[in-house]
Amino acid sequence: MSRRALIVVVCAWSALAHADSPKQHASRLAAEAKVHYAQGELAVAVALLRQAYEIYPEPSLLYNLARALQDEGDVRGAVATYEQYLASDADVADRAALEHRVATLKAQLAKIDAATPPTQPEAVAQPIAQPPPVRIVRVAVPVDGPSPLPWVAISGGLAIAGVGGAFGYLATTRHGDATAAATGVDTQQLDADAHRYARVANILFAAGAAVAVAGTIWEVHDRRAHATRGASVTAVLTPGSIGLRARF
């Protein structure tokens, strides 16, 4: 059973079990308090003595209560109760000794109060400082021009077609030589060369044209893509810093 529960039970039992005069009831409570005091149950003894004094305010009960409070460690309560006892009875036999005891206990309280740090006042809520203004400056930066690779492809396609033109010229020349040849053997050889050069020319023409057309399509698409894309740099200025944000 906890200490508080024990106090409640003892006090309740005492109130019910002793239905007699106030002085007798207070005397029995004081006797019970003495037993608990001897057993070291100081909190129970204090509670019983307080109840006894409420029933019958005998000055001697104040003295016993002050002693129990002092032994329990309640120095401030003990000083107040000792002073109440001295004030309630003008014929206290050991007044000088009790006054010296009270002075000693007050000196202990003064040391305790001096060692206890003062309570800090509650801090006054400070208004939240507003953040400094931020200036945002956006600067447009031109992006690089279209890629030169499409023009490389167009140039390569034209060069291939040019080589095909050279082979076409050779095919035409060989065909003319075959027509003017004196013998049939020369005519057949030159005519075969003309056909071979013509096939190479056709292949090179077709390949060069395909590469040139692909490069042209690439160039048109690249220019359109760059026309719809831009780059910008955003400068963020505050009183204490400068920052940059770039977008490409």
- Give me the CATH number covering residue 85: 1.25.40.10
Same domain as 196, residue 164: yes
Structural domain contains residue 179: yes
Structural domain contains residue 165: yes
Structural domain contains residue 183: yes
Helix 149-180 crosses helix 184-227 at what angle (to 10 degrees)?
160
Q: Who contacts 100 (Cβ-Cβ below 8 Å, separation ≥6)?
A: none
The yes-or-no verdict on residue 28 having pLDDT over 60 is yes
Same domain as 92, residue 186: no
Lowest mean pLDDT among 20-29, 36-45, 114-123, 126-135: 126-135
Same domain as 212, residue 145: yes
The yes-or-no verdict on residue 67 having pLDDT over 50 is yes
The yes-or-no verdict on residue 69 having pLDDT over 90 is yes
Same domain as 65, residue 21: yes
CB atoms within 10 A of CB 229: 9
**Structural domain count of the chain:** 2
| Structural Rg of the chain based on CA atoms | 59
The yes-or-no verdict on residue 7 having pLDDT over 80 is no
Q: Identify the domain containing residue 71 by its residue range.
A: 3-113
Lowest mean pLDDT among 11-25, 53-67, 87-101, 154-168: 11-25
Same domain as 158, residue 74: no
CB atoms within 10 A of CB 23: 12
- Residue 124 backbone phi and psi in degrees, to 5: -75, 130
Which of the given ranges, 178-182, 220-224, 241-245, has the highest pLDDT on average?
A: 220-224
Average of pLDDT values for 184-205?
A: 80
Identify the domain boundary among 79, 113, 147: 113
Same domain as 142, residue 106: no
For position 167, what pLDDT does the model report?
85
Same domain as 182, residue 103: no
Same domain as 145, residue 106: no
For position 238, what pLDDT does the model report?
58
Structural domain contains residue 130: no
Per-residue pLDDT of 216-229, as tens digits, reads: 898 887 777 766 55
Q: How far apart are CA 97 and CA 101, in angstroms?
A: 6
The mean predicted confidence, pLDDT, of the chain is 78
Whether 156 and 211 have beta carbons less than 8 Å apart is answered as: yes
Strand partners, 139: 233
Same domain as 230, residue 144: yes
The yes-or-no verdict on residue 21 having pLDDT over 80 is yes
Same domain as 197, residue 108: no
Q: How far apart are CA 215 and CA 210, in angstroms?
A: 9
Lookup: tokens for 81: 């109760």
Share of the chain above pLDDT 90, in %: 32
For position 89, what pLDDT does the model report?
81
Q: Is 228 exposed, middle or buried (0-12, 13-18, 19+ CB in 10 A)?
A: exposed
Instruction: Annotate 17-49 with DSSP letters as a single string.
Output: H--S-HHHHHHHHHHHHHHHHHTT-HHHHHHHH
Same domain as 240, residue 142: yes
Structural domain contains residue 201: yes
Structural domain contains residue 61: yes
Identify the domain boundary among 113, 128, 147: 113
Q: Which of 145, 146, 75 is nearest to 111 (CA)?
A: 75
CB atoms within 10 A of CB 50: 18
- Residue 2 backbone phi and psi in degrees, to 5: -70, 165
Structural domain contains residue 85: yes
Same domain as 168, residue 243: yes
Q: How confident is the model at residue 241 (pLDDT cuts 50, 70, 90)?
A: low
Q: Which of 175, 168, 176 is nearest to 194 (CA)?
A: 175
Structural domain contains residue 196: yes
